[in-house]
Structure 1
């Protein structure tokens, strides 16, 4: 299986490339949208891992051109700014999966259907933390109001300053529960 890693963070892309190589998966790296499309046209990959934010470009714009090159290509969108709104939009545009960044090798392999794990089955039983749900709800309101903070605050039934304070507290990576 061969893939294309499309990410403007070269260090992350190279690290992920090495991790996937240890699992026997060959990958190429593209640091921007134009070079990603050029590489995909030359040698269409089995899968593409696309970052949502590619410098000035959006990874959402790459989904349809990649799908047009190869209909059976698995397209995984990754982002450090995960929200319900962008997840819905990526799936509507044709992405196969949506992963929070930094996406681990095992997360990617599971999304590609190459690995299952007991750890995933255990984590399926845990609920999404409340602060994450609140953050996603706020992001959805912002998307519906085209980023207008005052309109989003009215939609959410809160004061504009309260919304600004919540936006300043972006949620960090989820902590894993340690049982026993």
Structure 2
């Protein structure tokens, strides 16, 4: 019986990064489908039944127009609960990591991450009890950053609504997000 080729769904709106990841995964024997939005993900999934659809996925957390990649995680997980989904983000926070896992992701990685990191994440689906617990206290800046991201996740990355809930001007929030951006 012939084993079918590993199918990977890549949801990334940064064209250069997507091209690099795509080539790297193709060299490793994956067939890669690429989408830049939740709408494209929905169209791609409509072409495949759960048994033929992507077994692997790499999803960017923040897509163009402040769209959330969490919607894509949820869509793929509903389509195929067995798919291994890794969320990549330049906007890492505890709140978004928790939400990604609740919605079906098996792992959550901060950018920059490479193909080796992602493949390792696919194979680390089970949790580990030997992870060292940090004794370092969380800084005020980190707490602020996590609160901002929790609010962003609650508002589906709507900057205006998040700024209103945080009690700050929209431009102030946008500047804070630009300063912490990792691309």
Query: Normalised by the size of structure 1, how large is the TM-score?
Result: 0.69
Cα 1:136–1:75, aligned 2, differ >3 Å: closer, same or farther?
farther
Question: What's the secondary structure of 1:75's corresponding residue?
Answer: strand
For residue 112 of structure 1, give the secondary structure of its aligned residue in structure 2. Answer: helix
> For the Cα contact (< 8 Å) 1:3–1:27, is it kept in 2?
yes
What TM-score do you get using the length of structure 2 for normalisation?
0.68
Conserved? CA contact 2:77–2:103, under 8 Å = no
Per the TM alignment, residue 130 of structure 1 is displaced from its structure 2 partner at its CA by 8.0
1:4 to 1:129, Cα distance in 2 relative to 1, 3 A:
farther
Gaps of 5+ in 2: 1-5, 125-130, 153-161
Instruction: Sort the Cα spacing of 1:58 and 1:168 in 2 relative to 1 into closer, same or farther, 3 A.
Output: closer
What CA deviation, in whole Å up to 9, does each residue of 1:11-52 have, x standing for no partner?
A: 111110111122222211112111112112313101111111
Secondary structure of residue in 1 paired with 2:180: coil
2:145 corresponds in structure 1 to: 139
2-side partners of 1:36 and 1:129: how far apart?
Answer: 40
Relative contact order, higher structure (CA 8 A, sep 6+): 2
Q: Counterpart of 1:46?
A: 55
Determine if contact 1:85/1:136 at 8 Å carries over to the other structure.
no
Q: Count residues in correspondence.
A: 153
Pick closer, same or farther for the CA change 1:94–1:128 going to 2, 3 Å: farther
For structure 1, the residue ranges without an aligned partner over 5 or more in a row are: 115-123, 152-160, 174-180
- Give the 5 Å matches for 1:1-180: 1-43=6-48, 44-56=53-65, 57-113=67-123, 135-142=141-148, 143=150, 146-147=162-163, 148-149=165-166, 170=180
CA RMSD across the alignment: 3.4
